A and B are shown apart, each in its own frame.
Chain A
Amino acid sequence: MASSTRVTFPNKFLPYLLLAPQLAITAIFFYWPASQAIYQSVLREDPFGLSTQFVGLDNFRRVLGDPNYLNSLQVTVIFSVATALIAMALALLLAVMADKVIRGKGIYRTLLIWPYAVAPAIAGMLWLFLFNPSMGTLAHLVRSAGYNWDPLLNGDQAMVLIVSAAAWKQISYNFLFFVAGLQSIPKSLIEAAAIDGAGETKRFWTIVFPLLAPTTFFLLVVNTVYAFFDTFGIIHAVTGGGPGKATETLVYKVYNDGFVNLILGDSAAQSVILMIIVIGLTAIQFRYVERKVHYG
Chain B
Amino acid sequence: MIQNNPVGRLIAHVILIIGILIVAFPIYYTFVASTQTLQEILRPPLSLLPGGHFWENYSAALFGGVGRIGGVGVDRLLFNTLVMALGIAIGKICISILSAYAIVFFRFPGRMIFFWLIFITLMLPVEVRILPTYKIMVDLGLIDTYTGLILPLMASATATLLFRQFFMTIPGELVEAARVDGAGPWRFFKDILLPLSKTNIAALFVILFIYGWTQYLWPLLMTNRNEMSTIVIGLRKMISFADADTEWHLVMVTCILAILPPILVVVLMQRWFVRGLVETEK
Q: Which residues of A contact B (CB under 8 A)?
A: 1, 4-12, 14-16, 18-19, 21-23, 25-26, 28-34, 36-37, 40, 90, 93-94, 97-98, 100-102, 104, 108-123, 125-127, 129-130, 135-137, 140-141, 168, 171-173, 176-177, 179-181, 183-184, 190-191, 194, 200, 203, 214-215, 218, 221-222, 225, 229-230, 232-233, 251, 254-255, 258, 271, 274-275, 278-279, 282, 295-296
| Contact in complex: A18, B101 (CB < 8 Å) | yes
Taking the nearest CB of chain A, how far is it from the CB of B166, in angstroms? Answer: 9
Tell whether B72 is near chain A: CB-to-CB under 8 Å. Answer: no
9 extra interface residue pairs, beta carbon distance < 8 Å, beyond A172-B23, A200-B3, A282-B122: A11-B108, A15-B111, A21-B95, A29-B155, A97-B15, A119-B216, A121-B232, A232-B125, A271-B124
A sample of 7 inter-chain contacts (CB < 8 A) reads A11-B106, A14-B102, A29-B136, A108-B16, A119-B216, A225-B122, A282-B119
Bound-complex Cα distance A111 to B267 (A): 9
Please determine whether B102 and A15 come into contact, CB atoms closer than 8 angstroms.
yes
Nearest residue, chain B, Cβ from A40: B132
Residues of A within 8 A of B106 (CB): 8-9, 11, 14-15, 18
- Interface of chain B residues 1 through 31 with chain A (CB within 8 A): 1-3, 8-9, 11-13, 15-16, 19-20, 22-27, 29-30
By the criterion CB–CB under 8 Å, are A137 and B102 in contact?
no
**CB-defined contacts of B33 to chain A, threshold 8 Å:** 129
Question: Chain B interface secondary structure, helix, strand, loop or mixed?
Answer: helix
Contact in complex: A116, B107 (CB < 8 Å): no
| A134 and chain B: residue at smallest CB distance | B44
Provide the B193-229 mask, 1 if CB < 8 A to any CB of A, else 0.
0000000000000010010011110000000000000
In the assembled complex, how far is the CB of residue A209 from the closest CB belonging to chain B, in whole angstroms?
Answer: 14
Chain A interface mostly? helix
A34 to B22, CA, bound (A): 39
Interface residues of B in 124-147 (CB under 8 A from A): 124-125, 127-129, 131-133, 135-136
A110 and B232 CA atoms in complex are apart in Å by: 24
In the complex, B152 has a CB within 8 A of chain A: yes
- Given A14-B185, A125-B239, A275-B123, answer yes or no on A117-B99 (Cβ-Cβ < 8 Å): no
Binding site for A on B (CB under 8 A): 1-3, 8-9, 11-13, 15-16, 19-20, 22-27, 29-30, 33, 44-46, 48, 94-96, 98-99, 101-108, 111, 114, 117-125, 127-129, 131-133, 135-136, 151-152, 154-155, 158, 160-162, 165, 168-169, 171-173, 175-176, 179, 184-185, 188, 207, 210, 213-216, 232, 235-236, 239, 255, 258-259, 262-263, 265-267, 270, 273-282
Task: Give Cα A230 to B207, complex, Å.
Answer: 14
What CA separation (Å) do A181 and B165 show in the bound complex? Answer: 13
Give A152 to B236 CA distance when docked, in angstroms.
22
Q: A7-B176, A9-B188 are in contact. Are A32 and B259 (CB under 8 A)?
A: no
Other-chain contact of A34, B118, B129, B162 (Cβ < 8 Å)? B129
Q: Evaluate contact between B95 and A9: CB separation under 8 angstroms.
A: no
Contacts of A9 in B (CB 8 A): 105-106, 175, 179, 184-185, 188
B267 and A34 form a contact (CB under 8 A): no
A141 to B48, CA, bound (A): 11
Q: Which one of A16, A31, A176, A222 has the greatest number of beta carbons of chain B within 10 Å?
A: A176
Q: Which residues of B contact A26 (CB under 8 A)?
A: 117-118, 121, 155
Q: Are B23 and A168 in contact (CB under 8 A)?
A: yes
> Which of A18, A122, A184, A254 makes the CB contact (< 8 A) with B281?
A184
Residues of A within 8 A of B279 (CB): 184
The reply to whether A90 and B160 form a contact with Cβ atoms under 8 Å apart is no
